[in-house]
Amino acid sequence: MSKVVMSLPKGMLKDSVIGGVLALVSYTALQLVCALLIDKGVLGMERLYPMVCVAAFLASFLGCGYSVLKGKGTSMLTVPVVVAVFMTLTLAAALLTAETISIDNGVTGLGLSMAAGGLLAALVGHNLPRGGRSRSKPRRRRYSQRG
């Protein structure tokens, strides 16, 4: 194993991979909802790309939120790892289903949406109370000594 993987906090890599897979599953579910809305005629085809970006944002927020909550806010390093896993899985699926991927097809907007969702999850997770770390020691009472 590389030094980077060995120096990560315990369970962080597992939480990051689970967060990335969770993001991909929720992204796929949101894409099915978007396709259903377009198929039923509720939304027009011109709304497809904005809906894809919103779905990527929400899915990234869910996956990164999972990893931040699972790690109890001890390390925000999981957020870029989850986004990287999510983007890698998404691009791998896109390469399997399409002949080519280009920036003209909106890959940049999709990546920025994923990053924005991860950033929001990190900001929200950073402001959450820290489970067991913030306990303070009980105060000892001082009694005046009268002699």
Q: What confidence tier does 134 reach under pLDDT thresholds 50, 70, 90? A: very low
Domain membership of residue 38 (yes or no) is yes
Whether residue 81 is contained in a domain is answered as yes
DSSP assignment string, 51-114 = HHHHHHHHHHHHHHHHHHHHTTTS-TTHHHHHHHHHHHHHHHHHHHHSS---GGGTHHHHHHHH
Owning domain of residue 102:
9-127
> What 8-state DSSP symbol labels residue 72?
T
Contact present, 14 and 66 (Cβ < 8 Å): no
In a domain, 71, yes or no: yes
Residue 138 lies in a domain: no
**Residue 95 domain-assigned?**
yes
Chain center to CA of 26: 11
Q: Which two tokens stand for residue 122?
A: 């990190």
Quick check: is 56 in a domain?
yes
Q: Let me know if residue 34 belongs to a domain.
A: yes
What digits encode the pLDDT tens for the residues 83-112? 888 888 888 888 888 777 777 777 888 888
